[in-house]
Amino acid sequence: MKIKLAEYDENWIQMFNDEVLLLRGIFGEEIIKFEHFGSTAVPGMKAKPVIDMMCLVKDIKKIDTFNDQIHSLGYDVAGEWGIEGRRLFRKGGDNRSHHIHVYQHDNFHIQRHLILRDYLRAHPDEAARYTSLKEELAQRYDDTALYSKAKKPYVEELELRALNWFESLGP
């Protein structure tokens, strides 16, 4: 499947908000909060037009009991999908529109994702460099898995810079 990057679209915010309403109807009282993260949450950044949503919940094990309901909304149920303690749901099949990453509120992966988002929002030059890399890799790779693997070393370095930036902000 060809990697398609899109210019930043302010409609992505509304797509996030609309999906929050649907998901609140499924997960109900288990939800603590939702966060929009990933490239679609960074104004001005090109992205695959798939809304990455983080849903923080009280008890991750209870989320598995909602699989049939979430599937009825058009989501694939992917389980942990390589990240212990996460539940991943993907909507749209080959034309994906949303990824829901569900974490228990105390999972250590949460901070990493949100700090990177906030760092890119605060550093447009970094967002531009990351966009350039994604454009280059999208031209080189037709496969999403190869594309993701190729950008992984850069993203890991970017995450380190983001964490250092966050720590420098102090309490």
pLDDT tens digit sequence for 12-61: 999 999 999 999 999 999 999 999 999 999 999 999 999 999 999 999 99
Portion of the chain with pLDDT greater than 90, in percent: 91
Which domain covers residue 138, as residue numbers? 11-168
Q: What is the reported pLDDT for 1? A: 59
Distance CA 154, CA 17 (A): 30
pTM of the model: 0.93
Q: Note whether residue 3 is domain-resident.
A: no
Q: What is the pLDDT of residue 165?
A: 97
Domains held by the chain: number:
1
Q: Is 40 in contact with 14 (CB distance < 8 Å)?
A: no
Instruction: For residue 4, tell me if it sits in a domain.
Output: no
pLDDT of residue 3: 87
CA angle 136, 144, 55 (to 5 degrees): 110
- 80: domain CATH number? 3.30.460.10
